[in-house]
Structure 1
């Protein structure tokens, strides 16, 4: 595929380059932006980093503090924007309260969202293959926070073999069983709850015939997270992993909340988790 993204800005960072780019997305039908950190030298692997509600392609590289260790470990870091922008669909902002109707890393099938809300296709069929090819076909792992944690858990299961390893920080663990998902899923996918389950991390795990990541999944969760009990529900994913024998390291952290103060606290462990799997 032809890949000639527009350079928005490139900045030296820990011996490498933190870049921001824009490209014409066929999947979304709109311009989409992404960030890419390239470490010095030849990268050993690529880590797809998915951010959450209200975030953009700038959020993870600016706030997570990942580039220092990524530089030392030789990891490239790819962060897509989290949602389509500039569609002018009525209710896109006001009815959702997120500033933009969140992408949830799925492809919508219902009007008015279906033409542009195609984040799964954008990430998995367009952006990720193009960047992998640009970097020479690097092995790839996936990490996500919050809504991006949902995306990491679901995309990794829906696209087996695409990722060497998987980790999440404060993820939405069961989208069909939380208020955010119960609002988004009918709007995007319609009333058929079987379609919802196909984008629910815990339901996907329970349907596995064998552990998809036998070397283990890493999950970190702050116990002072304001969304923990209503929206995130890590205990449901923990139970699903136990049911199919999927190794899961779920670390609970007293006093930590949901945002990037927590992400930046645990990010080094996640980078090392992926570096070990990427060889």
Structure 2
């Protein structure tokens, strides 16, 4: 790992890193906050479309709450970089900045867009081997909320808690998800359900911890892309413990995320401590 920047923050350190990824076969970047105390656990934050490793760590206001709970956070970039695959840079919702936290199977993308493996293996190993932290949980926003729900449901042995802000909960039937799944997984829809939180719950996948979700009701993507009620219905049928908070007046931005960040950090602390 190579440290790129370091800033003292709430007596701890906010830092930026790069490393070579076995999963993506590219250099990947991530940011961290590590408190000035014995670290009890690590939260993985997965960001949304167009984001990098910098958005969360500079906008969410999480460091104060993490320091109070003796927790660190690690926030990776949202896709591989430095490639020139067909169609990779044509739009904001597919390709660079839009990895959707899955393992692609289509030509070209299958060689590098392995964000599932990157989070679950490469980044997880960085946390446990380099930072020597054993208790790990996962949360995220929008596309990253989708990733947190899916990777949490698929790997309950690795992630002790799961939460999300404004997640894409049923990507198999939302425009963002359908575009991404077609591009990364092909048109065989039977392969899509493995990366769809609603479909995973309906197939019997569950997480032992309560899943926490906050969703703004003034979110411009609420009705068309995010489909929050699909998650509620699937969780109820599956017997998954959950809490979905619909927040009047809030939008899709980091102003919304920062408002409820303390609640999410406290939720994870219950399971990590």
Separation (CA, whole Å) in 1 of partners of 2:252 and 2:188: 31
Please report how far the alpha carbon of residue 260 of structure 1 lies from its aligned counterpart in structure 2 after TM superposition: 0.2
Please report how far the alpha carbon of residue 42 of structure 1 lies from its aligned counterpart in structure 2 after TM superposition: 1.1
Which stretch of the first structure deviates more once superposed, 176-185 or 131-140?
A: 131-140
1:278 is aligned to 272
2:226 is aligned to 232
Give the alignment of 1:173-184 within 5 angstroms.
Answer: 173-184=169-180
Deviations 1:192-241 (A, max 9, x none): 111101100100011126x423x411100000000001100010011000
Q: 1:75 to 1:219 in 2, by over 3 A?
A: same
User: Which secondary structure state, in structure 2, belongs to the residue aligned with residue 198 of structure 1?
Assistant: helix
Please report how far the alpha carbon of residue 55 of structure 1 lies from its aligned counterpart in structure 2 after TM superposition: 0.3
2:6 is aligned to 10
Deviations 1:33-88 (A, max 9, x none): 01111111111111111110000111110010000111111010011101111102
Of 232, 238, 255, which aligns to 1:261?
A: 255
Structure 1 contact 92–101 (Cα < 8 Å) conserved: no
Structure 1 residue 212 corresponds to structure 2 residue 207: yes
1:108 is aligned to 104
Which stretch of the first structure deviates more once superposed, 188-197 or 128-137?
A: 128-137
Please report the TM-score for the alignment, with normalisation by the length of structure 1. 0.94
2:244 is aligned to 250
Please report how far the alpha carbon of residue 120 of structure 1 lies from its aligned counterpart in structure 2 after TM superposition: 0.7
Structure 1 contact 63–260 (Cα < 8 Å) conserved: yes
2:131 is aligned to 135
Please report the TM-score for the alignment, with normalisation by the length of structure 2. 0.96
Structure 2 contact 52–97 (Cα < 8 Å) conserved: no
Q: 1:97 to 1:180 in 2, by over 3 A?
A: closer
Separation (CA, whole Å) in 1 of partners of 2:219 and 2:38: 38
Structure 1 contact 170–219 (Cα < 8 Å) conserved: yes
Residue segments in structure 2 that go unaligned for 5+ positions in a row: none
Q: CA RMSD in A?
A: 1.4
Separation (CA, whole Å) in 2 of partners of 1:103 and 1:238: 25
Which stretch of the first structure deviates more once superposed, 101-110 or 266-275?
A: 101-110
Please report how far the alpha carbon of residue 249 of structure 1 lies from its aligned counterpart in structure 2 after TM superposition: 0.7
Give the alignment of 1:1-279 within 5 angstroms.
Answer: 5-96=1-92, 100=96, 102-208=98-204, 211-213=206-208, 215-279=209-273
User: Which secondary structure state, in structure 1, belongs to the residue aligned with residue 195 of structure 2?
Assistant: coil
